[in-house]
Amino acid sequence: MATHNGMEWALDVERVCKKLQRAMELREKYAPCTVRPDSQACKIDPKGVKFEFRKGQMHVLRSSDASELFVPRTTVAEFYADMAELFATRTDGSVGTFCFQRLKLLQTKFELYTMSHFDRELEEQMATSHRDFYNVRKVDTHIHHSAAMNAKHLLRFIKKKLKYHGDDVVSKHGEKQTALKDVFSELDIGWYNLSLDKLNVVADVTVFHRFDRFNEKYNPLNQPQLRTIFLKTDNEMGGRYMAEITRELLDDLEESKYQHTEWRLSIYGRKRDEWSKLSAWVCDNNLISTNNRWMIQVPRLYAVYHSSGFIATFQDMLDNIFLPIFECTVDPGSNPKLAKFLSLISGFDSVDDESKSSLPKDRTFSSRELEPAEWNISDNPSYKYYNYFMHSNIRVLNQLRAALGMNQFQYRPHAGEAGELHHLDTAYLLADCIAHGIKMRQSMPLQYLFYLSQVGVAMSPCSNNHLFLSYSKSPFQEFFMRGLNVSLSTDDPLMFHQTKEPLMEEYSLAKQFFRLSSSDLCELARNSVLQSGFSPEVKAKWLGSANPDVNNINRSNVPNARLRFRRICRQEEMRLVLADNRGDAMKAFRAGIPSVPEYDTSPRGDSLVPADARELSPLLMPAEPPRGRVRSLTPRHSEAALPYVAPEAADGIDCMEMPPASKSAAGARSPSRKRSSEDVNEGAASPNKVRRPE
């Protein structure tokens, strides 16, 4: 008992579990961003609804009596208090120790599971007709539209336009018109002279930890004008070139059939008409496909727009982002193209360089002290300030759209790519899924919380390898083995990928670097579908069910044994964290730890069955004895097995030490015949070293 008390004191399990419970309760206040459709859906008269901003948060009211229909659940002050509480939990030493031990245990369990069940998983997959990794559905949940093509695709397109359509008018300055060939004539470059090296859009060593230089890679030939001409949706040509490239990419996706994307388009919040222009670009060019859903990314560039005179306060930015879509939700007929475009959107993202932390000029106070309408200074609001107001207003919008029977939007910001660790605190409370998350490797409590809550993490090891973290240091494999809800995505194929199918390239690279099996790849593909913003009906068609706890191997090609293992592990961790008292917590703490069984020590101690098999982890349960006649593959006269030597470690080995035979083995008699003198002599003459065959 003293040992148990000492262990309880050292781990402080009860207090730690209470803190983790509280952290999960905090997340439930804010997430998910979507809401369950109300039974009163389509019973609200949209003509009797009005909406207005109050302290930066949208309130939906009845027009008749101004009573509240849909309002925010929290205030910014409450959110900051919750952030402080989560920070205190994350930085608590006891919590860090506890989470580290549980995560290492999860990783060890997975290693044991794969060693003992690899053959079973393979048998399940081989018994499944038609399915393999190539024809299971997979979604690129994090990809930016303006960099969705590879560099060779963009080069071919530019050369074709310059060679055959050089007279296209690409810009106007008053009455002066500039043709495409004139732009390249000023650069003294012809179509034949163009090459990938000259285009200079592929990431290289100069962009490592230099996000500013990475952004310059969006400019072909280092010319911002060419970015506007070829990679923008809003230019003098109405984004025609970008639309043509997009159509080619959609044709490629539809041809591949099993690959899907969620391309990100930008809404900046500079002007009120951005939504109308973007929706017209999509609809007029018929950029609609069952293989793609659109995401909206909002760059955190208030300071730039304020200094340029586009907006006066942060509230102006919120007005430009949210008022047009609230108006269109209430009255779709006022902007049919925008209404159609909104039905094709799966979620919102918040993007910018997280590592950028310039010293404040005008701000010497906490950002929560200013309401958005009062934020008229030149400094950018903080990361959590941006994300809170984005999330709060999207959630109210989802409540309204659910009541009107419309689709809803997820909130899936960039978080944890670089910069401060507290960005992941914000993401844990607010996000449905995040992009990147590699900074999570520095915080065991955050890793464990993301695991318990199964927050989706779309990781891009190829992108990280060029910008922030090499493949050898990537936490992707650890996250996957421990059971975090991770998937693979491409981020920016223009800069990072070489092939026509960048998502397959990403999977291929991960398979080689991290030695992923077919089951691993199919599990990652299944995760990507569940994380995506495609409708539940579409997910059910692709996977057999949109419920993460239900698996149809005929659709997903993920072995049932794999998902059963994942479910058992998480149930054990949840049982531990949600334990009511210290005794239950310590019992749950030990229950999930695989241990060496205590065998029967009775006088008839010839049984290999543990004394109490029910107390063992499923990972160490003995296999059922085979039925029927069994033929041994072990040579009759072998006294001891040769040690296993990995192929890469076998070079240069001339001989291997044979482990000495135990006395029990030497004295054991064959049940089929008596041991003869020839057998004894043969055994005595056997050398202790076995020569490696020539």
Catalytic residues: 436
Closest listed residue to residue 284, CA positions, set 341, 331, 328: 341
Q: Please state the separation of Cα 184 from the chain's center in Å.
A: 41
**427, containing H or E segment:** helix 422-430
Burial of 633 (0-12, 13-18, 19+ CB in 10 A): exposed
Measured CA to CA, the distance from residue 104 to residue 593 in angstroms comes to 11
- Identity at 240, one-letter amino acid code: R
Q: Please state the separation of Cα 269 from the chain's center in Å.
A: 26
Measured CA to CA, the distance from residue 431 to residue 532 in angstroms comes to 13
Assess contact for 588 and 570: CB atoms under 8 A: no
Residue with tokens 């300071």: 303
Measured CA to CA, the distance from residue 156 to residue 252 in angstroms comes to 15
Burial of 193 (0-12, 13-18, 19+ CB in 10 A): exposed
Measured CA to CA, the distance from residue 75 to residue 426 in angstroms comes to 15
Measured CA to CA, the distance from residue 685 to residue 688 in angstroms comes to 9
Give the 3-state secondary structure of residue 596.
coil
Measured CA to CA, the distance from residue 130 to residue 136 in angstroms comes to 10
> What tokens does 447 get?
């890793």
Assess contact for 16 and 94: CB atoms under 8 A: yes
Give the 3-state secondary structure of residue 69.
strand
Residue with tokens 């509240």: 68
Give the 3-state secondary structure of residue 38.
coil
Whether the ω angle into residue 32 lies within 30 degrees of 0, i.e. cis, is yes
CA separation, residue 137 to residues 131, 493, 542, 623 (Å):
10, 20, 6, 34
Return left, alpha or beta for 188; rule: phi > 0 is left, psi -120 to 50 is alpha, else beta.
left
Rg of the chain, C-alpha, whole Å: 30
Q: Going by C-beta distance under 8 Å and a sequence separation of 6 or more, which residues neighbour residue 630?
A: none
Q: Going by C-beta distance under 8 Å and a sequence separation of 6 or more, which residues neighbour residue 145?
A: 246, 263, 264, 265
